[in-house]
Each structure stands twice: as C-alpha cells, then as structure tokens.
Chain A
Amino acid sequence: MSSKGLKIAIVGGGLAGLAAAMKIAEAGHNVDLISVVPVKRSHSVCAQGGINGAVNTKGEGDSPAKHLDDTVYGGDFLANQPPVKRMTDMAPEIIYLFDRMGVPFSRTKEGLLDFRRFGGTLHHRTAFAGASTGQQLLYALDEQVRKYETLGTVTKYEGWEMLSLVLDDHQVCRGLIAMDLQSLELKAFKADAVIMATGGPGLIFGKSTNSMTCTGSAVSACYQHGARYANGEFIQVHPTSIPGEDKLRLMSESARGEGGRVWVPKNDGDKRDPKEIPEAERWYFLEEKYPAYGNLVPRDIATREIFQVCIDGHGVNSENQVYLDLTHIPAETLTRKLGAILEIYEMFVGDDPRHVPMRIFPGVHYSMGGLWVDFDQRTNIPGLLAAGECDYSIHGANRLGANSLVSCVYGGFVAAPAAIEYAANVERGETETNGIFDVELARQGELNQAVINSEGGENQYKLHEELGRVMTDNVTVVRYNDKLKATDDKLLELRERLKRISINDSNLWATQAIPHARQLGNMIELARVITLGALNRNESRGAHYKPEFPDRNDEEWLKTTIAEYADEAPVLSYKPVDVSLVEPRKRDYSKGKAKGN
C-alpha cells in the first residue's frame, strides 16, 4: 500500500496508543509516542475484571453476533452498529493475540483460556488474568513496543504533555506541540498523522475511579481546535467503588461476576454486624427487581438502584453505602479469582472482603462520549485520528463491563492502518508548513507565561475541587435541567476565576502548577460540553437519566450529540445513529432477552 518510513505521532501510551504503536511499527513506519507518564504506568493498568470476546468455550452457544447484540442493547442503542460489529467480530482474535504475547490469562483444567461472566450478558465471555487484566494486557503491549523501541522505530517521549495541535491553512493536522513536564520546554512534533489515545476525562469530576492523569486535557485541546466531540453527556458512574479522600477506588464488576451479592439490611439503620443479620432480614434489591440478570444488570441500572436505595434512606447505617457481599464464597476461590481487587479493598479500608461484606457506593468511572470518529477512527480534522476511551464510537449510552479493554485494542488496531493509509496517500507540499509550528510554539509559550504572570490570588487546586463538586452533584446519576443550567453558570464563573489564579510555585523546574492550570482550563471547556449536552437531551437513556423525562425517546433522541467549540458556548447539533444491524428495542433486564440474534 505505502512507502515505508512515515511518521505517526501517538498521544497517550495506554492500551489504545500502544496497540496502534505496535501495528504502525510492525508495518515499517515510525512512531513518536507522547505520554504524560511512562507508558507502563498508564490508566489501563486499573482495569481489573477482564476482556470480552465471544470465544464460546463453555458450550453456551455464544457468538460475536450475541456480543454485538449485548453491547448495543446494553448501550441503549445509541452506538453506531457497524463498528461495534467489527469489534465483536475481532474480539476473539484480539484475546488470542494477547495469549500469544504471553498474558498470563487464567486457564481451565485442560490448559485453555478460562472465561468468566460479566454484567449485561448471560454468557461466560470475559477472559481474565486474575483481577488485574488491564495491567496484564497493557504490559504485554508495553513489552512489544519496547522491542520496537530497541529497533529504533518507536521513540518515546515520556513525561511530555500535549498542549495543542498544529493545523495548516487548510485545517489539516500536521503535528502537535508538547511540553516537557520537567523543563517546561516546548517542542513541535511534525507528523504525517496524529492519533489521540489519551483516555477519559474523569478528573473533571474531581474524585473518580480514574488515574490522576485522566484530565481529558489533550482531547479538549483538539476540540478547541475544531475537532467534534460526540455524546459528551454520557458519563458512566460505576455502581461499586470504594469512597476515599483522594479518589474513588474501583471495586471491579468481576466481584459480582464471581457471585458477589448486593444488599442492605431490611431495617433501616440496622447497626448489627452484617454477619449477624439473617438472610430473611437482608434486602437483595437487584436480585429482587431483576430476576434474570440479578446483580449483573448493566452498570447504569445497578448504579441508579444503589443510588436510589441510599437516597431513600436504606443505605447501611443510613449512609451512602451498600454491602457487596462475597463471604458466601470459599476464601480460597476468592483469592485465586479476585485476589488483586480484594487486596485493594483490604489495603485501603482495612477489612478482609473474604470475611466481611464490602461497603461500596457508585463513582464516576468512564466516558462513553469522546472525539467524534468515523468508522475508521478518523476525526473530522484530516490527519487526526482517535482510539480508546477518548473516542465515542463503541459504547453508546452505557458501556458494558470488560468491553473497554477490547474497544481500546480494537480502536488502536483500526486507527493504525487508517493513519498509515491517510499519510501515504495525502498530497501536500512542504512549504505549507512553513512557519505554522513556530507560530503555535510561540502561542503556547505565551499561554504558559500568562499563567506564570497571573497574580489574582485564586488557588487552582481549590478551583478544581469546586469543579469536581458541582459536576459530581449535578451531572452524574440523576440530572435536572435547572441544576444543569446552574452548573454551566458555575463553569463560566470558574473559567473567569481561573484567569486570576496565583501559582504558588516560584521554582519552575518540574513544577506541577503550570501543567495543572493548563489542564484545568481545558477541563472546564469539556465540562461545558458534558453539561450542556445533558441539558439539551430531554430523555433518559443509558447513563443519562432525567426524572423529568424518565423514558427513552427514540423518536426525538435516537441521535448522536455533536459539540463544536465556540467561545461563548459549545454549538450542539445531532446526527442519526446507524442502527442497520440490530433493531432498537426497549431494554428490560428483569427477564432473559426476548429477542436478539
């Protein structure tokens, strides 16, 4: 197809970025890989439960078509279906490839790959490596990419943060500007194509299950350069997280996949030790309401039920917490299948979940929305592609558990050849780029200097807390239009106050104040996209729930939200959803699926 030796810049070194890097290097091209942290420390390591692929080793008659159906049904039919089909078709071979790369997946007696159950499906479809599958998959790609690093085809820039794209006069992406987080040196990266793979924007909500690198800042920069952002209002709140002072730690869905049961005492405020409360006095509310799927209903449903139980005063000790109980399962089985996540609970809470029911509450976890891409992962800006959580393409209005890892790898595997194809065939003259990198370098330098010079007395970390609080209070599980409107007013206020911060760091070497201030500005812009998208969408679908409009409304709202940047407010428009493969139907998890392929 193409000449060798093209240069593709990849921003982000998690699963999607490394998947793309490996494919591009394997095809004989060069990669500049830019990441805020050493890529092995990317947020993909936090994914716990597993990776979905309909390999059908359990004699259940599973198939990629059923995986497609579960995914679009779980996503409340907001996803374009052709790329979902392509992903579910590719999923088994993705799992096999990781098996060949040496991922220590759990195995059956026969020595084959073992599979567990996850939410939103009735099949054993989830391959897993203990309860740290994301870590293991990321490491496998990290190892393969390291090999290409030794061969000189991949060059890593770890500890660098992307600040902006560089577009030419035709609004074509020609590269990007990034900053060395130690020296604050700005550098222009010229590239034949750029792939964004920067993950989610959880930090917009202050505390979430995301890593501290998940600001969405680089994606917001793309959006402000004219890239379309799609379905921003769809933010997944995971039903089971462990509240903490610094973050909300994830308690994997695999705990329920292996038989964990969610309950509260039937008597509100029951102070007894949970082990002392007899079966008859426990309310297993998910099992009662959803007999077919029980504790494994999709995340948006489990989250709303847990949230409502607590709002109604039925939480454990009348607080915002419910029990997630594994104590009926033998401790040895739990250690083998869930060891890593049980250790996290034990480490941070102190109780041993093998013997004491865990106390959990929902926490912001994942963005279904992201950069708009076509079916080949290309954004609307020529030369700019996106893959992984930072693109919107696969999960619709709600993501199923263990579909994130497979969608990251799929996105990277599709983006890589698409980037090569674009770069190999685009015709353009070198003269067009004269000066454009210098102009953008100077602009970014000025923006940094403005932060350094600012002396208004506002504290950036307190502004970030305020951002997190207002977004968590008003733009998560339950949404009201008056509160969404008030949230946008607050965001505008924060945007103004951010101009008046005083960075309290006189030492600019390796300072974290300037990068954080820049990220915060970008986070506020993305927060507006999320909030105003939610305000506009007067229905309830997947993770987006408005009591004022409690039902899904396909007639008016079976469409993708598209946000385009403008200084006064994001401009929203809507595109139809491609539902050519599975006809939309109402979701009902109280019984087994009525229909489906």
Chain B
Amino acid sequence: MGENGHNEKRRLNDPPRTFKLKIQRREKEGAPARWETFELPYRRNLNVISALMDVRKNPVTADGTQTTPPVWDMSCLEQVCGICTMVVDGRVRQSCSALIDDLLLASGSDTITLEPMSKFPNIRDLKVDRSKMFDHLKQVHAWIELDGSYNLGPGPQMSNEVAQDRYALSRCMTCGCCLEACPQYGDDKYIGPQAIAQARLFNIHPAGKMDIDERLAGLTGDDGIGNCGNAQNCVQVCPMNIPLTRAIYETNRDITVNTLFGWLKK
C-alpha cells in the first residue's frame, strides 16, 4: 500500500539488460512438445505479447539457432476478449496483461516460461482449441428465449442490485482459466464452472427464470454440476473476478429445490 492508501505498483529498480522467454513448442496436435529459449532486450512496460512479437520478428533462439516464429492467439490486448490465455510461469492467465516487470519481480528469475493450456487440444505452440466451451453454453441454454427481435418495448424492470449481480457473471469472456485450474475438468467428465455461472446469469433474470428447467437439465447429466469437487481453484484464477463458487452453490440450491418440489408442478 502506498501513502495514499491505494496500491502502488512495484517496479524493477535495477532492471536487467536482457531477459529470457522459454516457450513450449509443438508443431501440431499430437506432435511431441519441445522447449526453446529466446533472449530479448529488456524495455520498460513490456508485456508477454510484445515480447512474443519481438521473437516473431526475429525467431532466433538464445543459442543462435534459426527457428520458426511461435504461434499464439491474440486479439484485443485489453483482457476482454480472452483469446490470448496461456500458462505463464505456471499460472493460467491472459498473456496481454502479463507484464514482464511483474513476472520478473515475482519469480526473481531472468526467465519467463510460456506453455499452452493443457485442458484443450493444442493446435500448435501456444494456440489451443476451446470450441468445447461454446458447446457447453449450448448445453445450458445460455440465452433468453425471445418472442422475437422486433420492437416490444423495454425488458422487465429490475433493481440495480440484480443488474449488478448479473453484470458480474456476464463479464465471463470464455477464456478457460477456470477450466484449466479445475482438478475435476477434463475428458468430458465435468462441464465446469464457466457454463454453470452462465446458466446462473440467465436463471436470475426475470424472463430467463421461465426457462430455468431447461438450463438445470443441462447441468444434471453425467458431466453435470455434481462433479464439482469444491477445490475452489476457479475463483482464484478467474481474471474477471466472477463469483464462480457462489454461482455453483446457488445453482446447486436451485437444483435441490427443483428436485424436491418439481413434482408439484406436474
């Protein structure tokens, strides 16, 4: 904390002349992984993306070997599209907001390690295929059923409190950090926190509530919410601070209520 009572950024006081990027390489899915290390000149305010861009311009390893430019995904570079997610120094996060100064300070090392996420097919180098996450959104019917997109006036009135709760859930950018960190996620055993939280987003909407049964049905199959092991890793890695464990808890409660009282509806 600084004197004004707010966080002040720690900065490298004595920055190195150079630093190293150690990158896991893979030619295509199924090919063996290997490591390559690149040495780059240090500059202030670099992030992992700009370091990767430097490598791409001149793909020569630290020991002088010419290689291919590493492949990775990037788009918004403002941590709002989610595409550039990878494992940086052992922690899953967006590489655009991973600042070189912070990483070197945290590790005390001169080397930053980059790996692709391990829970998704590895297309090449740091690029992965997360299309499964979008399939999960289909499974939980993560949308409002509209009567039609024509002009029917405003939506239901709601308190700002509900709107803010929904906003917190709605910031999910489908980046996959929660799934990478979840010990239960993998091999299609568990749908994972992101889809549960997105179901919750619509279940607490006054109109969305009307389709709660369909959404809960998507969460009570073999890969359903019951597979959550309550490790709570998801909330710790979520870059958008989405209350994932709360969404899981509340959805479980909805399912219990539905199971207990579902017969009343019939």
Contact = CB atoms under 8 A, between A and B. Distances in A.
Interface stretch (A222-230, A491-499, A510-518, A578-586): A510-518
Is the contact region of chain B dominated by helix, strand, or loop, or is it mixed? loop
A97 B142 CA distance: 17
A149 to B, nearest CB: 7
B45 A505 contact: no
Given A45-B173, A135-B171, A104 B164 contact: yes
Interface stretch (A34-42, A297-305, A318-326, A385-393): A34-42
Interface in B59-101: 59, 66, 68-69, 71, 73-83, 96-97, 99
Interface stretch (B200-208, B221-229, B247-255): B200-208
Interface centre among A111, A136, A212, A459 (most CB of B within 10 A): A212
B214 to A, nearest CB: 11
Contacts of B189: none
A16 to B, nearest CB: 15
Contacts of A275: 4
A247 interface: yes
B153 to A, nearest CB: 6
B108 interface: no
A352 B7 contact: yes
Interface stretch (B15-23, B49-57, B178-186, B257-265): B49-57
Nearest to A111: B157
Interface stretch (A138-146, A170-178, A257-265): A138-146
Given A354-B6, A459-B57, A96 B154 contact: yes
B167 interface: yes
Interface string B125-153: 00100110010011001111110110111
B111 interface: no
B158 interface: yes
Interface stretch (A281-289, A342-350, A519-527): A342-350
Interface in B1-44: 4-9, 11, 27-28, 43
B166 interface: yes
Given A111-B157, A143-B144, A45 B76 contact: yes
B43 A104 contact: no
A245 B69 contact: no
Given A97-B151, A132-B171, A344 B69 contact: no
B103 interface: no
A38 B146 contact: no
Contacts of A45: 76, 80-81, 173
Interface residues of A, number: 79
A487 B18 CA distance: 35
B79 A96 contact: no
Contacts of B80: 45-46, 132, 135, 340, 344
Contacts of B123: 182, 510
Contacts of A462: 57
B232 interface: no
A352 B5 CA distance: 11
Contacts of B59: 504
B6 A352 contact: yes
Given A113-B154, A245-B43, A459-B57, A23 B149 contact: yes
B160 interface: yes
Contact of B154 (A100, A150, A249, A336): A100
B217 interface: no
Given A107-B158, A211-B77, A146 B151 contact: no
A108 interface: yes
A36 B47 CA distance: 24
A6 to B, nearest CB: 18
A156 to B, nearest CB: 9
Interface string B97-120: 101000000000000000000000
Interface of B: 4-9, 11, 27-28, 43, 45-47, 49-50, 53, 56-59, 66, 68-69, 71, 73-83, 96-97, 99, 123-124, 127, 130-131, 134, 137-138, 141-146, 148-149, 151-155, 157-160, 163-164, 166-167, 170-171, 173-174, 201-202, 205, 207-208
Given A129-B167, A244-B50, 16 more contacts: A38-B83, A40-B174, A97-B149, A99-B154, A101-B144, A135-B173, A143-B144, A212-B77, A213-B75, A246-B49, A249-B78, A340-B171, A344-B80, A505-B68, A509-B27, A510-B127
The 5 closest A-B pairs by CB, nearest first: A350-B9, A143-B143, A99-B155, A104-B167, A245-B50
26 contacts: A37-B73, A37-B81, A38-B131, A96-B155, A101-B144, A102-B208, A104-B163, A104-B166, A104-B170, A106-B163, A135-B80, A143-B143, A146-B143, A149-B138, A158-B131, A212-B76, A244-B50, A245-B46, A246-B77, A336-B164, A350-B8, A350-B11, A352-B7, A504-B69, A510-B28, A510-B71
